[in-house]
Structure 1
Amino acid sequence: MPGRPVCVEGAWVDDVLLQGGGDDIALHLGRPVSRAELRRLVEEQQERLEAFGLAAAGTVAVRLPPSLSCIVAMLAGWRSGAQVALLDYRLTTHEVGQAVARLAPQLVIEPALDVSGTLRGFFDVDTRITPLRGGRPAASDHVLLQLSSGSTGPSKVIGRTAEGLLTEIDRYTRLDGFPRRGERTVVLASIVHVLGLVGGLLYGLAAGVQVVLPARQTVDGILKAVAAGEEPTTILGVPSQAAVLAAAQTPPRLPQLRRMITGGELVKTDVWERFTRGYGAELGVMYGMTEVGVIATDLTGSERPRLAPAPGIRVRVEEGEILLGLPGSPYVGLSDPKRYVDGWLHTKDAGSLDEATGLLTVHGRLDSQVSIGGLKVDLSEVEASISALPGVSEAVVVHGTGIEAFVMVEEQAAFDGIAGSLADRLAPYKRPRTLNLLTELPRTATGKPVRNAEILRAAVKSAAAARTAQLHAAGETR
């Protein structure tokens, strides 16, 4: 890759993200953080990074849990004119090593001590900065590097320029119904991945929307975060989090809760009905990609399953695939040359575009279409059929030696009845050869179900071993 200096102007951080009144509340992570305090913390961290040698066109990897320290570190890196790579703190040591080898940052910012805590919404962490021998300065003008979710295969390195981030922030300001100045967003989505990062954190800082991270991502913790302020409030998360909230037996009435917006797969109809009825609030959806951010939305849930392309997005459907018009390839380093061709990004998502209304319907992954005995089967259709059965919480369908389904259910009887129910709904060649029961589906760092057959099978073996151990322990206690 030819060397090009990263944007040396860190002024966009001050001009867009840290602007505004000093006493205005920018963030709430267990306590309010004013814009004046946030600016001071960013300036102090910038001085610390520069003492370690970080300069304009430098590179830094941030591997921190959701925290004030994480937010400050990324803003300080950008303010220095550096390229910031965001790594999910839940990556294993092996995965971190692989990522660092690919990205070659000059500095890595990590927790000074290991952190843990299931369903923690944020952490209080001290950080350590480690210079890396062999770290290289930025070779492109991207200010942000991210790894794709890896839900269907190896992660890709995706770059975003400052201009690209600002364009997406502006796209959010033009979405009718997205939070506005003086309102609050309770962010459940990861702040190091595109939905929580740009739609939650960066847009919130730019637009004067208070960004709230709940202490715990449980029903009680989320609802306490909503109830803590009187301002109109939006929850930003993923479909599995909407399902958890919808499952609450007696949801409280929270007049400040306007809506929840999810990114990822379409929320199941029964979840949408329980949520909107239980909370008296809307449940909307956004379709997007790490490569470009938000693409299309239905923020009110009134057009399900159709979505309106976001302002400024060029979208077309060619041979059943959704294509996006972009000024340049979002990929950094080696990538599939077929993904970005003649100014159009091939999303590998199947879709259809209503020419009369301009609305987009996403039908799932193109690679979900497989051949069984010479007959085409859409795995997303099989998955949707299983997910729609009573008592089924969620399902993932993959193709290996045959069609395999991995299912979460509310009770054993629902799992036992799946095969019989599918006999009435799907042709024989479409039915799963194997049904696997899981208490929890493996997920990517962004909350998407993993669709890698080997990982799913390993989860089944692990769950079976755990059940056997529990039965053995129960027998010994008798």
Structure 2
Amino acid sequence: MPVGGGGDWVDDVLLGGSGQDVALHLGGPVSRAELRRLVADEQRRLRAAGLAAGGSLAVRLPPSLSCVVTMLAGWRSGAQVALLDYRLTRHEVDGALALLAPQVVAEPADPVTGTLRGYVDVRSRIITSTTGRPAATPHALLQLSSGSTGPSKVIGRTVESLLTELDRYARLDGYPTRGERTVVLASIVHVLGLVGGLLSGLAAGSQVVLPRTHTLDGIVRAVTAGEGSTTLLGVPSQAAMLAAAGAPPRLPRLRRMIVGGELVKPGVRERFTRRFGAELGVMYGMTEVGVIAADVSGAHTPGLAPVHGMRVRIEDGQILLGLPASPYVGRTDRTRFVDGWLRTKDAGGIDPASGLLTVHGRLDAQVSVGGLKVDLAEVEATLAALPGVIDAVVVQGTGIEGFVTVREPGAFAALADALAARLAPYKRPRTLRLLPALPRTATGKPVRDAEVLRAAVRAAASVGAAQA
């Protein structure tokens, strides 16, 4: 049976509209008529490889026109589509394919190289698996969680779930609409870039732009290359990079940037709005459900308004979400979804007067030191706000450990004394380590595994010694 009842929703919601309108821009414009033709051609290609309604397809392609077309063609075929980040190692890919068992796999025909690429011109090859199985669940989309704090989980989204989220985006005042442009910096194989950028843009009739690179120059070129009000969609570290630009470019078409995935570091909003005269909005969401709460204009931050139809409550300081069914596929922690409520493992609070939600960070950031409670998010925010610090991560390893990147090497030596003036002794990191860049997950979140961070320090030291 077709997943989600078939692929009519792709034509009705995502591929409709005037054929002459520009749907995508990846180095050049792609009209809605051209996108429809490409999707139909790819659907025939997938059918020849054995994909049918109710089948299963894994897409492991970098951000590209091929990725978008293959994904839409899979859904239009009535198949279940699993999205795998192309940056996963071969070992990780093999593990994911063994777990998901897709009948058909789309992957790059040639090696993909380069960093900070916004999109890639890539040819795909279609592989039919002899051990693949048809879709075992009604989910149209399967994704793996980011794994920033532990092993990845398989998360399923039905067509109804995706359409409900698209409706939530459509109801957000100030979110891009027809005639406007969204420059998507977030990965289109993860929920923020996928639904908040690509799918919502196609559904709303706004132009979805992928910059050639995620460098300052690449982002500026993407913003200035077209007409109309423009929104940037990305993660806080990208907003911080733009805010720290030495000579801020003039971007008169930039209306705002909207970020999600992690907390915005202190001072970033003020620097960003001052430099560009544009708003910096924030969204809170999860792979499991998509967008949960938002402040698109940044007027109420840190308070965020729960989006239309999302049931949110606080229990023992934890954010809980009311859902019709568990979003997890396969073996999961049974305590995570109980009696219709998903435990997010995020700390937060709701203002009884305004109804606004404030997200404080991960619950696992609360640790005990000598019987005293320490909020690692507080320590991290304090460290990140010190002069000369670009970015910081604080974790509980062998005691509290801090990892930082700085603008000038000399700034690192002053950090311990600066923290001593701002934090009680039991809150201070036992060790501070310098990194040229923080390790990040595929979605751009800082890695919070102490051993991975220590390994990055050792690797950086080895490179420095070799160059000396």
Structure 1 unaligned regions, length at least 5: 472-478
* d(CA) in 1 for partners of 2:403, 2:252: 38
2:108 aligned partner, one-letter code: P
SS in 2 for 1:276: helix
Q: CA deviation at 1:412?
A: 2.1
Is 1:262 matched up with 2:259? yes
How do 1:345-424 and structure 2 match up within 5 A? Answer: 345-424=342-421
User: Which position in structure 2 is the counterpart of 1:474?
Assistant: none
Structure 2: stretches of 5+ with no match in the other structure:
none
Tell me if the contact between 2:148 and 2:441 (Cα under 8 Å) persists in the aligned partners. Answer: yes
TM-superposed deviation, 1:304: 2.0
Does residue 77 (structure 1) correspond to residue 77 (structure 2)? The answer is no
Stretch of structure 1 that moved more, 418-427 or 159-168: 418-427
What is the root-mean-square deviation of aligned Cα atoms in Å?
Answer: 1.0
Structure 1 position 251 matched with structure 2 position 255: no
Shift of residue 270 of structure 1? 2.1
Give the one of 18, 21, 29 matched to 2:18: 21
Q: Which amino acid aligns with 1:397?
A: V
CA displacement, residues 119-155 of structure 1 (integer Å, 9 cap, x when unaligned): 1111111110111121111111000000000000000
TM-aligned CA deviation for residue 266 of structure 1: 2.5
Distance 1:382 1:240 in 2: 18
The TM-score with structure 1 as length reference comes to 0.97
Structure 1 residue identity aligned to 2:48: A
Given that residues 182 and 208 in structure 2 are in contact (C-alpha distance below 8 angstroms), is that contact kept between their aligned partners in structure 1? yes
Question: Which of these residues, 447, 452, 455, is aligned with residue 449 of structure 2?
Answer: 452
Alignment of 1:459-470 (within 5 A): 459-470=456-467
Partner of 2:223: 226
| Separation of aligned partners in 2, 1:265 and 1:80 | 35
Q: Which residue of 1 aligns with 2:431?
A: 434
Using the TM superposition, give the Cα deviation of residue 7 of structure 1 relative to its aligned residue in structure 2, in angstroms.
Answer: 2.1
Q: CA deviation at 1:455?
A: 0.7
Deviation for aligned residue 1:5: 6.1
1:316-339 C-alpha deviation (Å, 9 max, x unpaired): 011000000111100000000111
What residue in structure 1 maps to residue 318 of structure 2?
A: 321
Aligned 8 A contact 1:398 1:405 in 2: yes
- Aligned partners of 1:277, 1:385: CA distance in 2, in Å? 22
Measured after TM superposition, the shift of residue 310 of structure 1 is 1.0
Separation (CA, whole Å) in 2 of partners of 1:301 and 1:108: 41
User: Match for 1:55 among 30, 52, 57?
Assistant: 52
Counterpart position of 1:146: 143
**1:234-292 CA distance string (max 9 Å, x none):** 00011111111112122232221100001122322322122111111111111110000
Which stretch shows the higher mean deviation, 219-228 or 71-80?
A: 219-228
C-alpha displacement at 1:425, in angstroms? 1.4
Residue aligned with 1:119, SS: coil
Aligned twin of 2:104: 107
Distance, in Å, in 2 between the alignment partners of 1:150 and 1:414 is 31
Asked if the contact 2:435/2:456 (under 8 Å) is kept, the reply is: yes
Q: State the match for 2:165 in structure 1.
A: 168
Number of equivalenced pairs = 468
User: Which amino acid counterpart does residue 119 of structure 1 have in structure 2?
Assistant: L
**In 2, are the aligned partners of 1:61 and 1:85 still within 8 Å (CA)?**
yes
Q: Match for 1:169: what amino acid? A: L
C-alpha distance in 1, partners of 2:5/2:263? 40
What letter matches 2:198 in structure 1?
Answer: L
After the TM superposition, which of the residue ranges 371-380 and 27-36 deviates more from structure 2? 371-380
Q: Give the alignment of 1:111-122 within 5 angstroms.
A: 111-122=108-119
TM-score (norm 2): 0.99
**Residues of 2 paired with 1:460 and 1:74: CA distance?**
38
**Secondary structure in 2 aligned to 1:137?**
coil
Supply the distance in 1 between the matched residues of 2:2 and 2:71 (Cα, whole angstroms): 18
Equivalent of residue 91 in structure 2, options 75, 89, 94: 94
